[in-house]
């Protein structure tokens, strides 16, 4: 059921009035402070391991698009394989529920871990527990804590050509597996299309008006020639999103900027944060990952070879045999949808959570707008 702001707020206020500590896995906490050892025992199925949670310690608060926190766990025994700590993300706040609930992101991420993740042979986090309440949009996802075992990327992380190929391999496995799959109309029918996901986010979360404001605010990092065409960017964005309606569909991660990737201890790429997963054309992920992961010079040097590499991997994983010329056009078109996920973040609607540091937003906007300018992407639509 799609909910508007008033419905979400009414449900949030009612749930807040009934807030209490949680004891069993069928309950979703309203705050991390409401989590009890009994709840963790049930969620982790500790009894099956012949042990019991005795104490938990909450890590520092981390509020953004969602509420994030580590939990350290103590047991009454050392003879078990249960986690010593977990990483949780939740929609405990009203702004999170509005931003992530209206476009289906809350349900999408929970069901990714419960349904899709077990089907994919890729490097990605696994969940100990994931649940959401469709009536209130409260949710929690409990992941194995990877702190110390992987390096999470940011806008300063250096992605070599080989690591970029690994990013494309992961995406090709996802896209190939679900390319024009019956699952999209079956067990994955809850997923929004990319065009619907974008439209809801643009209209309900204010991304539409803020995109133009953010673009103009980022003038210092945008190629001068492109900045002169500022009035053409949003219409091009709408056209690029609309093009997905007539293209073959697959499942797309849809938020593959560099900060959602990590590097394992043995130097391989992994992909996290699946809350924007939806159904659309694979060009969405291809344009987004290359234009944010690579500095401008590396992207210019490698992008065509990397697109060729992706097409080979996509076909090998069950996808189509796509001519490079078609893929090049999809890539150019989808740069606008990628950019539209970051200009509003630079200059957000006051009702939206503060999502990213300014230097990160400016760096990604710089990379994407230079890609748009370099490839003459406005001519692709």
Task: Check residue 228 and give its pLDDT.
Answer: 98
Task: Check residue 65 and give its pLDDT.
Answer: 84
Does CATH place domain 150-380 in 3.90.1200.10?
A: yes
Collapsed DSSP state (helix, strand, coil) of residue 159: coil
Q: Which CATH number fits domain 5-144: 3.30.200, 2.160.20, 1.20.120, 3.30.1560?
A: 3.30.200
Q: How far apart are CA 160 and CA 294, in angstroms?
A: 8
pTM of the model: 0.93
Q: How far apart are CA 93 and CA 39, in angstroms?
A: 21
Q: Tell me the average pLDDT of the chain.
A: 95
Are 321 and 305 spatial neighbours (Cβ–Cβ below 8 Å)? no
DSSP at 250: E
User: Please, what is the Cα angle at 241 between 239 and 246, to 5 degrees?
Assistant: 90
Task: Check residue 212 and give its pLDDT.
Answer: 94
Task: Check residue 5 and give its pLDDT.
Answer: 87
Burial 112-148 (b: 16+ CB within 10 A, else e): bbeebbeebebbbbebbbbbbeeebbbbbbbbebbee
Task: Name the residue among 244, 237, 126 with its Cα closest to residue 194.
Answer: 244
Task: Check residue 165 and give its pLDDT.
Answer: 98
Helix ranges (H only) for the chain are 5-17, 37-43, 94-101, 105-111, 161-177, 194-204, 207-217, 224-227, 230-243, 283-293, 296-316, 324-339, 343-346, 358-374
Same fold, 5-144 and 150-380: no
Residue 36: half-sphere exposure toward Cβ, Cα within 13 Å? 11
Could you report the per-residue pLDDT of 316-347, keeping only the tens digit for each? Answer: 999 999 999 999 999 999 999 999 999 999 98
Task: Check residue 3 and give its pLDDT.
Answer: 84
Could you report the per-residue pLDDT of 43-82, keeping only the tens digit for each? Answer: 998 888 789 999 999 999 998 889 999 999 999 988 788 9
Task: Check residue 351 and give its pLDDT.
Answer: 66
Collapsed DSSP state (helix, strand, coil) of residue 167: helix
Written as six digits, the tokens of 209 are 């008006």
When pLDDT is cut at 50, 70 and 90, the band that residue 257 belongs to is very high
Written as six digits, the tokens of 59 are 């890590």
Chain position carrying tokens 């080989």: 162
Residues 6+ apart with CB under 8 A from 125: 143, 144, 146, 270, 272
Could you report the per-residue pLDDT of 274-284, keeping only the tens digit for each? Answer: 999 999 999 99
Domain extents for the chain?
5-144, 150-380
Task: Check residue 353 and give its pLDDT.
Answer: 61
Tell me: pLDDT of 268 over 90.
yes
Written as six digits, the tokens of 47 are 């009894």
Are 303 and 377 spatial neighbours (Cβ–Cβ below 8 Å)? no
Are 241 and 262 spatial neighbours (Cβ–Cβ below 8 Å)? no
Residues 6+ apart with CB under 8 A from 195: 241, 242, 244, 245, 280
What's the mean pLDDT in 245-265? 97
Are 281 and 248 spatial neighbours (Cβ–Cβ below 8 Å)? yes
């Amino acid at each position: 059921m799609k909910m508007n702001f008033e419905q979400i707020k009414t449900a949030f206020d009612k749930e807040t009035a009934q807030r209490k500590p949680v004891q069993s896995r069928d309950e979703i906490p309203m705050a991390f402070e409401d989590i009890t050892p009994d709840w963790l025992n049930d969620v982790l199925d500790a009894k099956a391991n012949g042990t019991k949670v005795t104490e938990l310690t909450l890590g520092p608060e981390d509020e953004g698009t969602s509420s994030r926190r580590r939990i350290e766990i103590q047991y009454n025994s050392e003879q078990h394989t249960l986690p010593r700590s977990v990483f949780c993300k939740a929609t405990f706040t009203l702004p999170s529920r509005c931003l992530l609930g209206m476009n289906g992101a809350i349900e999408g991420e929970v069901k990714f871990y419960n349904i899709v993740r077990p089907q994919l042979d890729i490097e990605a986090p696994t969940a100990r527990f994931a649940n959401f309440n469709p009536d209130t949009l409260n949710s929690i996802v409990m992941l194995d804590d990877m702190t110390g075992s992987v390096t999470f990327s940011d806008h300063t992380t250096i992605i070599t050509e080989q690591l970029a190929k690994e990013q494309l391999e992961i995406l090709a496995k996802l896209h190939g597996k679900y390319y024009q799959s019956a699952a999209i109309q079956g067990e994955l029918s809850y997923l929004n299309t990319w065009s619907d996901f974008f439209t809801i986010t643009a209209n309900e979360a204010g991304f539409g008006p803020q995109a133009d404001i953010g673009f103009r605010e980022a003038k210092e990092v945008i190629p001068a020639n492109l900045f002169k065409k500022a009035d053409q960017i949003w219409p091009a964005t709408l056209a690029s999103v609309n093009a997905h309606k007539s293209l073959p569909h697959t499942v797309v991660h849809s938020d593959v900027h560099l900060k959602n990737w990590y590097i394992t201890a043995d130097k391989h790429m992994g992909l996290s944060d699946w809350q924007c997963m939806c159904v659309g054309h694979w060009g969405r992920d291809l344009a987004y990952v290359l234009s944010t992961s690579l500095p401008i010079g590396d992207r210019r040097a490698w992008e065509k070879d990397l697109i060729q590499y992706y097409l080979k991997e996509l076909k090998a994983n069950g996808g189509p045999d796509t001519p490079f010329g078609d893929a090049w056009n999809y890539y150019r078109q989808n740069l606008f949808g990628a950019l539209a996920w970051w200009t509003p973040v630079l200059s957000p609607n006051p009702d939206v959570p503060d999502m990213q540091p300014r230097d990160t937003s400016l760096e990604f906007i710089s990379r994407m707008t230079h890609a748009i300018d370099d490839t003459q992407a406005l001519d692709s639509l």
